[in-house]
Amino acid sequence: MRYTDRVLRFPTLFGKNGMFEKPIPSFQRPDTELLYRTVTGDPGEAFYFPLNAVRWLTPPRDLAALVTASGSDRFAAELFHFGKTPRAMSAELYLLKPGEYRVELVAPRNAKPLATEKLVVKGPRTKINFELPPQTPCQLSVRH
């Protein structure tokens, strides 16, 4: 999810002085800090010393991303593409220290990885490219 009126403004329509006489308590405003952290892997806040692990270089439509691990020697994320055809993806990784890494894209229900490659990190901005299959939960991992 992105920081848009649909995410932040829509729930207020169901609150006090909204569309209904009484507020509907099940519609709550989302935790924007949690949304930011799950997509970027940043343990802090967006407005105070941001430390993103990743920047997804793709439009946000039909995509779910959850960063599950980040650090100077690893990165992992769970990804899901809601579309009906394969989706070309790319991302910039920011926290990895220089060295050689193994990139692996796995669909848990498959016996073998969907893709594997060697990645050489030379600096703080390392770009990776891969393809997500349609409607399949996937795990992306980058390890030393």
124 shares a domain with 63: yes
- Mean pLDDT across the stretch 44-64? 84
Mean pLDDT of 120-128: 95
CA 89/CA 93 separation, integer angstroms: 13
Do 59 and 116 lie in one domain? The reply is yes
115 and 47 assigned to the same domain = yes
CATH of the domain at 82: 2.60.40.1180
What is the per-residue pLDDT for 3? 47
Whose tokens are 């999810």? That residue is 1
Same domain as 45, residue 12: no
pLDDT at 16: 72
**Whether residue 70 sits in one domain with residue 10:** no
pLDDT bucket at 11, cuts 50 / 70 / 90:
low
What is the pLDDT confidence band of residue 46, given thresholds at 50, 70 and 90? low
> pLDDT value at position 74?
96
Whether the per-residue pLDDT at 129 is higher than 90: the answer is yes
pLDDT (tens digit, 9 = 90+) per residue, 57-98? 998 889 999 999 999 999 999 999 999 999 999 999 999 999
What one-letter code names the amino acid at 89?
M
Same domain? 17 vs 73: no
> Domain range for residue 24?
1-30
Report the number of distinct structural domains present in the chain.
2
Q: Are residues 2 and 64 in the same domain?
A: no
- Radius of gyration from C-alpha coordinates of the chain: 18
- Same domain assignment for residues 88 and 22: no
Average pLDDT in the chain: 85
Full-model pTM: 0.72
Calculate the alpha carbon distances from 103 to 47, 73, 114, 125 in Å. 30, 12, 11, 16
Per-residue model confidence (pLDDT) at position 10: 59
In this structure, the answer to whether residues 74 and 51 fall within a common structural domain is yes
Count CB neighbours of 50 within 10 A.
Answer: 12
